[in-house]
Amino acid sequence: MEQEVRVCVFGATGYTGAELLRVLVNHPHVRIASLLSKSHFGKKLKEILPSFYGFPLGDIKLSWEPEEDFDLAFLCLPHETSLELVPELIKLGKRVIDLSGAYRIGKPDVYLEFYGFEHKHSDLLEEAVYGLPEIFREHIKGARLVANPGCYPTATLLALYPLLKERMEIESPIVDALSGVSGAGRKTTQKFHYPEMEGNAFAYSVEKHRHVPEIEHIVQKVYGKEVKVRFTPQVIPLARGMMVKLYVKCKEHDFKELYRETYKDEPFVVLLDEPPSIKQVLGSNLCLLYPYYDKERSLLQVIGVIDNLGKGASTQAVQNFNLMMGFDEGLSIRMLPIFP
Amino acid sequence: MEQEVRVCVFGATGYTGAELLRVLVNHPHVRIASLLSKSHFGKKLKEILPSFYGFPLGDIKLSWEPEEDFDLAFLCLPHETSLELVPELIKLGKRVIDLSGAYRIGKPDVYLEFYGFEHKHSDLLEEAVYGLPEIFREHIKGARLVANPGCYPTATLLALYPLLKERMEIESPIVDALSGVSGAGRKTTQKFHYPEMEGNAFAYSVEKHRHVPEIEHIVQKVYGKEVKVRFTPQVIPLARGMMVKLYVKCKEHDFKELYRETYKDEPFVVLLDEPPSIKQVLGSNLCLLYPYYDKERSLLQVIGVIDNLGKGASTQAVQNFNLMMGFDEGLSIRMLPIFP
Amino acid sequence: MEQEVRVCVFGATGYTGAELLRVLVNHPHVRIASLLSKSHFGKKLKEILPSFYGFPLGDIKLSWEPEEDFDLAFLCLPHETSLELVPELIKLGKRVIDLSGAYRIGKPDVYLEFYGFEHKHSDLLEEAVYGLPEIFREHIKGARLVANPGCYPTATLLALYPLLKERMEIESPIVDALSGVSGAGRKTTQKFHYPEMEGNAFAYSVEKHRHVPEIEHIVQKVYGKEVKVRFTPQVIPLARGMMVKLYVKCKEHDFKELYRETYKDEPFVVLLDEPPSIKQVLGSNLCLLYPYYDKERSLLQVIGVIDNLGKGASTQAVQNFNLMMGFDEGLSIRMLPIFP
Amino acid sequence: MEQEVRVCVFGATGYTGAELLRVLVNHPHVRIASLLSKSHFGKKLKEILPSFYGFPLGDIKLSWEPEEDFDLAFLCLPHETSLELVPELIKLGKRVIDLSGAYRIGKPDVYLEFYGFEHKHSDLLEEAVYGLPEIFREHIKGARLVANPGCYPTATLLALYPLLKERMEIESPIVDALSGVSGAGRKTTQKFHYPEMEGNAFAYSVEKHRHVPEIEHIVQKVYGKEVKVRFTPQVIPLARGMMVKLYVKCKEHDFKELYRETYKDEPFVVLLDEPPSIKQVLGSNLCLLYPYYDKERSLLQVIGVIDNLGKGASTQAVQNFNLMMGFDEGLSIRMLPIFP
């Protein structure tokens, strides 16, 4: 091993933490320095994540504080916890990839309205790089702090980006999005109790959702002007996976070509000639896109799928890690989807 | 029993046939005269539909031709088969409720393009009443031939109807719709093989779907002018259930009141103050609606759920039956959803 | 209506309460006097059970105490709560059907070991009739207090009963049982969080399960001597349903005939010639049984399925109700399983 | 790369083929020489297995005959096809890992009764090594032809092996086994159509199943005498996964110690102190075992889980491959289970 990066994972026992570890364990340049969990410290990882039985990593004890020195921290924490931990880590000279929403939106005032807390670290908020490699690759490379995108924004922005980049005239886009239940995290709630979620599906946060300011903020950054997005998140009965359907009124154009051209060098974005299915990307870092233009209605429609815990969270975090460290971008995240 | 209607079910062994029988068996004025199935005739019903074990109906032999005289036929058949059978039954003086699409769209030329056959019975096509009681109740009452609506059109039209009725100005609506797998029928295909459909979801027929001309035809009939609908059907991993999300650009209005007023006397349409969930209507004849107006984007959004085999097919067929026969409209279809 | 029974449901908002109400609402001789819930009192039923939207029952307010006089109480309560409430209700002259385990096992000392509480109402424990109509029909008819059986014991005892009745020599039977997740109740837990239960299955309480003394107690009562049962409950990923597989070493016999003969007049037990499937009884009061004798291994195997919330709980409670009240035993519980 | 093995996969488009490729693609010493499929030849792999979109392997054309020279063949074919192909390949000097059942049971006459064909290659049948490394590791190393075990036998034999090895006295064991639907292959059938399999579970082949002679044959080989196994396979509603529950009458013994000792050096067998769950091994090569002795009933019970497509088929095939080639046994199959 030429180079070894010592890595800490804060909040190792949630779904994004688990998926991150599943991938990092195969990374040739990563050494897991500590796994942290304030709710389960003192226990072994496998006691909280039974899929680690049979693997040395499963026997690591969860700790309250980092147990040895480290170079980079992945934060799989609640927004409020990340908010305060990030400045401390940065002050200690660590690099940070934050999977929470605490440093994604460069407008401090948004946080009070959408997250319910005041954001007092506006300098770091400004410095943080939004970790969507297909748009911000060059900025990610040198970043100290990467704000790893939300799953809905990842899929939505990859579906929108070719239009934004080309400054196409777009009228308030509609985003109708389906998510697997793991998107809501590991905490139990009545609606996600198995007997009630099996065979069920519903929309939520129709009037207001945190991912809207995140999407609109990045759109404005790339597109140069404000765009209002109508966003309807829905939960469907599957553990992992996400599908967004984007509807945009706009003039005719060779959209298939535009999308293909935009992403032709991207290792993890694939254009399809027919609608993709969620399971096609299960456990992978892929995003599959299918654009279709309806001439009769002057409407562009783009369908995209990702794994909400993969490209929508943890494997994308590793993609960012690889970029930050100057490694091959696809190291340890080129695995095939699991099928069936 | 004051009155007894002798009923035949053609195509008794598919999903709509099974659901129809589950309901009819409790109908106080129905006598099942014959169950017909060209693929399984000679066998007992329970051999093909194992949920009928333990019930006398399960021992009925499936027949090729009606075995005794009857008053009314339910057709749960392929479109092409219904197309030819309906005129024969009508000629014999029978009343008919056709669950296929063969008599739903009053424009013969649509059939060649969307169904792949020439429709030569334009007189009956014109006579057929579209069996959506909330819009066409009075016509249904006297009808000889009722064309029972498709599941997608049922949910879509109930979401649109208050706008149509009020002649609101609406710009090309977008309908994004989710369906359980039973909507595709009982015939097996690779995509719906359990290991491939579990944890999966995908859009299909994005460019062209039979339900679009059905929806647009009825919209034109009610609204008085042509409206183009963008329609994206999707399959999600559940056996039964349907959710439509309607997006319409339009001026502000008290939509909650409009919807409540429109449906205030309807026994099977219920307005909610929060997004409904699919499982809330499982096994019932209900349609739940939730309208929401996004002022910032001048966009009305309506979310509706039905059971695709209930209000989207078989229980609606019985609602039509009750109307045609002058019975209490809710007879035998007032059952509660099954939960969990 | 000749006769009207005023009924209270205590603990109306759990799964057995919901299923009970779904059935009672169609019962021609039942009037719901009050719905009680200490956790949700003051709210409307539909706020806690969204499947009641659209039905008058959904608007009933949950109360702390019965709001009007009543004749009979269904208790869908935790064991400890039932334990204390039953004597109070009996003292008031009410008849009671208790769906908890508090009065099922006529040996007070079992409760300390398996339920964790001391049972001080041994008189009522002795009086209580075990509500399995296929075995105790005559006793149920006159009972003041019926202890409605657990789901596992219902299926197990129906599979064993023909052997017990005939005093067949049986060596410690093995019962391997699969249950849908609703069997564990409505309370959320990590293991039953949708993302973790989808695609999962596991055994639990392998070393000790409450249903073992319940089964063994009834076996002893019927069979006349003690039999030790090895019982392995498992959860599989489905909302409702139960399958038991009974393995008993015994001498050859015409078991198909024995089973058929035993249950020939039973309206809700059906003998099949091939293994039944769980979904065949979804939402019904049926129990399907398939006995098979393996000559080479001198082993009788019986496979049985029920709906754990139907024959395993609430519809069986209504069957007991009908017996207690002298009604037709199948009133309001003869509904067909839902399919698919 | 020190060494490169050129590999052909026959029957690349079924579930075992897909899983095999998912693993082989990460193997440092494997070069895929050809992918063969008689049903889909001429098409690209990704057209039949959409999870290969975005990967170079997905663009490989499926061929009728091997397109270049190769060293070893994996056969993911129907039994009958493997039967005839194996001798041809061996004659050409290829090494073969056969995932079908055609060379698993060293008794030619069994095939007529259980597989419906006459087995005329008794020499190869005798030569074939049963590919269960935990029992036959040394034989596998030098083998030309490895018969990869069935999924049920793999889990059953790993649960039984410590007893066999120790010559414990065991009385006709009972094996009650649950399988995910992928165990039945990719071919569609009515029972596995999504709407019918969701929420369903059932036993099948109760009277006679191909895996019984396979299990009994290996038991006899290891144990030295005949043992009759009662085996009840069941399908439960999940895509992948398997659980066996073994029940054996036997004298008391320190079984936890025996099992731990037997498997202490095995990289892929893990002993647990509580019942394992199926999802704990999803996508991995692990087998988790939990032995429990019920003193009161003199009954040993062992619960084991594997992924039916992993340790039950394709990753075990790669484990055998590594052994045959003298590679590190765990190469490319040490991946963590996917969770959730």
Q: Which helix (H) or strand (E) holds C50?
A: none
CA C163 to mean position of chain CA atoms: 21
Please choose, from the candidates B246, B310, B317, the residue with its C-alpha nearest in 3D space to the C-alpha of residue B283.
Answer: B310
By the 10 Å C-beta count (0-12 exposed, 13-18 middle, 19+ buried), D106 is classed as middle
Chain A hits for D46, Cβ within 8 Å: none
Residue the block writes with tokens 């019926």: C146
Predicted local distance difference test score (pLDDT) of residue C196: 98
Which residues are bridge partners to A146 per DSSP? A97, A129
pLDDT in tens, A184-224: 999 999 999 999 999 999 999 999 999 999 999 999 999 99
Tell me whether A21 touches chain D (CB under 8 Å). yes
Token pair for C72: 């009979």
Determine, for residues B186 and D182 on separate chains, whether the beta-carbon distance falls below 8 Å.
Answer: no
| pLDDT number for residue C156 | 98
All residues of chain A having their beta carbon less than 8 Å from the beta carbon of residue B238 are: 198-201, 236-237
Helix (H) / strand (E) element for D90: namely helix D79-91
Tokens of B152: 């997608």
Is the pLDDT confidence value at A168 over 50? yes
Chain B residues with CB-CB distance to C280 below 8 A: 50-51, 53
pLDDT of residue A213: 97
Positions of A marked active-site? 151
For chain C, say whether A278 makes contact (Cβ under 8 Å). Answer: no
Q: D239 and B193 in contact by Cβ < 8 A?
A: no
pLDDT(D1) > 50:
no
Pick from A213, A248, A251, A45: nearest CA to A125:
A213
At residue C172, the pLDDT reads 85
Q: What is the pLDDT of residues C66-116, one digit of tens each?
A: 988 999 999 999 999 999 999 999 999 999 999 999 999 999 999 999 999
Confidence of residue D2 (pLDDT cuts 50, 70, 90): low
Q: Tell me, what's the pLDDT at B1?
A: 45
D277 vs A50, A182, A280: nearest CB: A50
The DSSP result for C146-215, as a single string, is EEPPPHHHHHHHHHHHHHHHTT---EEEEEEEEE-GGGG-SS--GGGBHHHHTT--EE---S--THHHHH
Q: Which of C151, C190, C194 to mutate to test the interface with A (most CBs of A within 10 A)?
A: C194
D72: distance to nearest CA of chain A, Å?
23
| Residue C11 vs residues A158, C21, C36, C79, C184: alpha-carbon distances, Å | 49, 11, 6, 12, 15
Long-range contact set of residues A323-330: C-beta below 8 Å, sequence gap at least 24: A323/A133, A323/A137, A323/A140, A323/A141, A324/A72, A324/A95, A324/A97, A324/A140, A324/A141, A324/A142, A324/A143, A324/A146, A325/A3, A325/A5, A325/A29, A325/A72, A326/A141, A327/A29, A329/A133, A329/A267, A330/A267, A330/A268, A330/A285
Is B151 a catalytic site residue?
A: yes
Chains in contact with chain B (at least 3 beta-carbon pairs closer than 8 A): A, C, D
Determine, for residues C239 and A193 on separate chains, whether the beta-carbon distance falls below 8 Å: no
Structure confidence at residue B172 as a pLDDT band (50, 70, 90): confident
Chain B's closest residue to C286, CA to CA, is: B54
- Mean pLDDT, range B158-162, rounded to an integer: 98
Closest approach of chain D CAs to the CA of A146, in angstroms? 25
Any B CB within 8 A of A239 CB:
yes
Residue A194 to residue C192, Cβ atoms within 8 A: yes
Q: Does A187 touch chain D (CB under 8 A)?
A: no
Is A260 near chain D, with CB under 8 Å? Answer: no
Q: Could you tell me the pLDDT band of residue B3, with boundaries at 50, 70 and 90?
A: confident
B289, amino acid identity: L
pLDDT at A260: 98
Q: What is the pLDDT of residue A1?
A: 44
- The 10s digit of each residue's pLDDT in D37-63 is 999 999 999 999 999 999 999 999 999
Segment A112-127 mean pLDDT:
96
pLDDT computed for residue C171 by the predictor: 82
User: Do C203 and D243 count as a contact with CB atoms less than 8 A apart?
Assistant: yes
The answer to whether the CB atoms of D21 and A50 lie below 8 A apart is no
Distance from CA of D287 to the nearest CA of A (A): 9
Name which of B15, B57, B288 is nearest C53 (Cβ-Cβ): B288
Q: Do C299 and D207 touch (CB under 8 A)?
A: no
What pLDDT, on a 0 to 100 scale, did the predictor assign at position D128? 98
pLDDT of D108 > 90? The answer is yes
Write down the pLDDT at residue B68.
Answer: 87
- Asked if D180 is an interface residue toward chain B (Cβ–Cβ < 8 A), one would say yes
Of D55, D281, D336, the CB nearest to A336: D55
Contact: D232, C245; criterion CB under 8 Å: yes
Tell me how long chain C is. Answer: 340
pTM across the whole model: 0.98
Contact C265/B at CB under 8 A: no
* Least Cα separation, residue A56 to chain C (angstroms): 22
Give CATH for domain A5-149+312-325: 3.40.50.720
For residue D7, pLDDT over 90 is answered with yes
Tell me the mean pLDDT in the region D131-154: 98
Q: pLDDT, tens digit, for every residue of C14-46?
A: 999 999 999 999 999 999 999 999 999 999 999
pLDDT over 90 at C253, yes or no: yes
D254 touches chain C (CB under 8 A): no
Is B186 in contact with D194 (Cβ distance < 8 A)?
no
Cβ contact B176–A176 (<8 Å): yes
Q: Which residues contact B95 (CB under 8 A, 6 or more apart)?
A: B71, B72, B73, B143, B144, B145, B324
Q: Tell me what pLDDT residue B2 has.
A: 65
Which of C215, C256, C301 should be substituted to probe chain D, the one whose Cβ sees the most D Cβ atoms within 10 Å? C301
Rounded to whole angstroms, the Cα distance separating D243 from D260 reads: 19
Is the CB of C186 less than 8 angstroms away from the CB of A194? no
Structure-block tokens of residue C109: 């000392």
Is 50 exceeded by the pLDDT of residue A86?
A: yes
Q: How far apart are CA B201 and CA D264, in angstroms?
A: 43
Tokens of C241: 């349903």
| Contact between C283 and B286 using a beta-carbon 8 Å cutoff | no
Q: How far is residue D114 from each of residues A233, D101, D152, D186, D210, measured CA to CA in Å?
A: 52, 11, 16, 21, 6
Average pLDDT of every residue of chain D: 97
Q: Taking CB atoms and an 8 Å limit, are D176 and C245 in contact across chains?
A: yes
Q: B339 at the C interface (CB within 8 A)? A: yes
Q: CA B31: distance to chain centroid?
A: 23
- Chain D residues in contact with B199 by the CB 8 A cut-off are 239
Please state, as a whole number, how many other Cβ atoms lie within 10 Å of the Cβ of residue A130: 25
- Rounded to an integer, what distance in angstroms lies between the CA atom of residue B14 and that of residue B186? 6
- Check pLDDT > 90 for residue B171: no
CATH architecture of the domain formed by B152-308? 2-Layer Sandwich (3.30)
Is the pLDDT confidence value at B109 over 60?
yes
Reported in sequence order, the residue ranges of C194-298 that DSSP labels E, i.e. its strands, are 202-203, 230-235, 242-249, 269-271, 287-294
Tell whether C272 is within 8 A of chain D (Cβ): no
Distance between A245 CA and the closest CA of chain B, angstroms: 9
DSSP label at residue D142? H
Inter-chain touch B176–A172, beta carbons under 8 Å: no
Which chain B residue has its CA at the smallest distance from C284's CA? B51
The answer to whether the Cβ–Cβ distance between C188 and A189 falls below 8 Å is yes
Read off the pLDDT of each residue in D152-181 and give the average, rounded to a whole number: 96
CB B227 within 8 A of CB B216: yes
* pLDDT, tens only, A225-268: 999 999 999 999 999 999 999 999 999 999 999 999 999 999 99
The pLDDT value given to residue D201: 98
**Does the beta carbon of A292 lie under 8 angstroms from any beta carbon of chain B?**
yes
The pLDDT of residue A2 is 65
Q: What is the largest CA-CA distance in chain D?
A: 62
Beta-bridge mates of residue C175:
C231, C246
A202 φ, ψ (degrees, to nearest 5)? -160, 155
Domain ranges of chain D: 5-149+312-325, 152-308
Subunits with 3+ C-beta pairs closer than 8 A to D: A, B, C
Chain B interface includes C299 (CB < 8 A): no
Domains C5-149+312-325 and C152-308 share a fold: no
pLDDT at residue C2 in the model: 65
Q: What are phi and psi of D173, to 5 degrees?
A: -70, 150
ipTM: 0.97
D-chain CB neighbours of A268 within 8 Å are: 54
What three-state secondary structure class fits A223?
Answer: helix
pLDDT tens digits for D172-228?
Answer: 899 999 999 999 999 999 999 999 999 999 999 999 999 999 999 999 999 999 999
Q: Does B10 touch chain C (CB under 8 A)?
A: no
Please, which residues 37-96 of chain D have a Cβ atom closer than 8 Å to chain A?
A: 49-55, 57
Which residue, B248, B226, B286, is CA-closest to B160? Answer: B248
Give yes or no for residue D331 having a pLDDT over 70: yes
pLDDT tens digit string along A23-34?
Answer: 999 999 999 999
